Amino acid sequence: MPTSHPSITATALWESSNRGLTKLLSAEESSQLAAMASVVRFKKGELIYAEGTHANAAFNIIDGAVKTYRAASGGREQINGFLFADDLFGLAEEGRYVNSAKAVTNVTAYRFPVSTLEPQLHKNGDLEFGVISKLCHELREAQWHALLLGKRNALAKVAMFLQVVEHGMHERRSTRELYLPMNRSDIAAYTGMSLEAVSRSFQMLIKQNVIAQRDRRHIVILDRAQLHALAALR
Amino acid sequence: MPTSHPSITATALWESSNRGLTKLLSAEESSQLAAMASVVRFKKGELIYAEGTHANAAFNIIDGAVKTYRAASGGREQINGFLFADDLFGLAEEGRYVNSAKAVTNVTAYRFPVSTLEPQLHKNGDLEFGVISKLCHELREAQWHALLLGKRNALAKVAMFLQVVEHGMHERRSTRELYLPMNRSDIAAYTGMSLEAVSRSFQMLIKQNVIAQRDRRHIVILDRAQLHALAALR
DNA sequence: CGCCGGGTTGAATATGGTCAAAGGCTGTGG
DNA sequence: CCACAGCCTTTGACCATATTCAACCCGGCG
pLDDT digits (tens, 9 = 90+) for B10-24: 444 443 332 223 334
Look at B146 and A147 and tell me if their CB atoms are within 8 Å. no
Strand C and chain A: which residues 132-171 have CB closer than 7 Å? 152-155
Q: List the one residue out of A111, A106, A95, A12 whose CA is nearest residue A59.
A: A111
Is the model's pLDDT at A18 over the cut of 80? no
What is the distance in angstroms measured between the alpha-carbon CA of B183 and the sugar C1' of D14?
37
Tell me the residue type at B40. Answer: V
Which of A6, A139, A173 has its CB closest to that of B139?
Answer: A139
| Residue A161 burial (CB count, 10 A) | 21
Residue A4 banded pLDDT, cuts 50, 70, 90: very low
Cβ-defined contact of A108 to B2 (cutoff 8 Å)? yes
B-interface mutation test, from A87, A139, A145, most B Cβ less than 10 A away: A139
For A125, which residue in chain B has the nearest alpha carbon? Answer: B125
**C-alpha A145: how far from chain center:** 10
Helices A125-150 and A114-123: angle between axes, nearest 10 degrees: 110
Strand D nucleotides, any atom under 7 Å to a protein CB = 8-13, 17-22, 28
pLDDT at A116: 77
User: Which run of H or of E encompasses B30?
Assistant: helix B30-36
pLDDT in tens, B135-148: 777 788 888 899 99
Global pTM reads 0.83
Q: Is pLDDT above 50 for A183?
A: yes
SS3 B216: coil
Q: How far apart are alpha carbons A133 and B132 in whole angstroms?
A: 9
B199 touches strand C (CB under 7 A): yes
Contact A80, B146 (CB under 8 A): yes
Q: Band of the pLDDT at A121, cuts 50, 70, 90?
A: low
Given B8, B122, B140, which is nearest A23 (Cβ)? B8
- Does the beta-carbon distance from A7 to B30 stay under 8 Å? yes
Q: Cβ contact (<8 Å) for B34 and A5?
A: yes
